[in-house]
């Protein structure tokens, strides 16, 4: 699950190195949006709040998966 959020490099390469002639401006991607807000729009406080929200979402999903994984494992003989 966490690996799916680690897509920043791919998005950065596609948007800033001319991928698709620079048409891929994906503000919908949760990982890319705080970075662009902080460094492109100079709104560090808002970007920090967005990053904290992203942390809460990842922590919640991780906790749910951690609790559910106990139901997937069978240690009996």
- On whether residue 74 sits in a domain, the answer given is no
Q: Catalogue the long-range contacts made by 65-71 (C-beta closer than 8 Å, 24 or more residues apart).
A: 65/1
Chain-centroid distance of CA 55 in Å reads: 9
* pLDDT value of position 49: 95
pLDDT at 27: 43
Question: Is 27 domain-assigned?
Answer: yes
Q: What is the DSSP letter of 14?
A: H
Element (H, E) at 64: helix 44-69
Residue 37 lies in a domain: yes
Domain with 65, as residue range(s), is 2-69
pLDDT at 23: 53
Count the domains in the chain. Answer: 1
Residue 61 located in a structural domain:
yes
Within-domain flag for 51? yes
Ordered per-residue pLDDT tens for the chain, 77 residues: 566 667 766 766 766 655 554 455 544 567 778 888 899 899 999 999 999 998 998 899 889 988 888 777 777 76
The predicted structure's pLDDT at residue 59: 92
Residue position matching structure tokens 């922590």 = 59
């Amino acid at each position: 699950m966490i690996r799916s959020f680690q897509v920043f490099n791919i998005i950065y390469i596609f948007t800033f190195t001319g991928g698709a002639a620079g048409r891929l401006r994906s503000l919908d991607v949760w990982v890319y949006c705080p970075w662009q807000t902080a460094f492109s729009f100079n709104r560090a406080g808002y970007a920090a709040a967005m990053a904290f929200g992203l942390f809460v979402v990842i922590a919640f999903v991780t906790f749910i998966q951690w609790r559910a994984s106990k139901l997937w494992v069978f240690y009996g003989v």
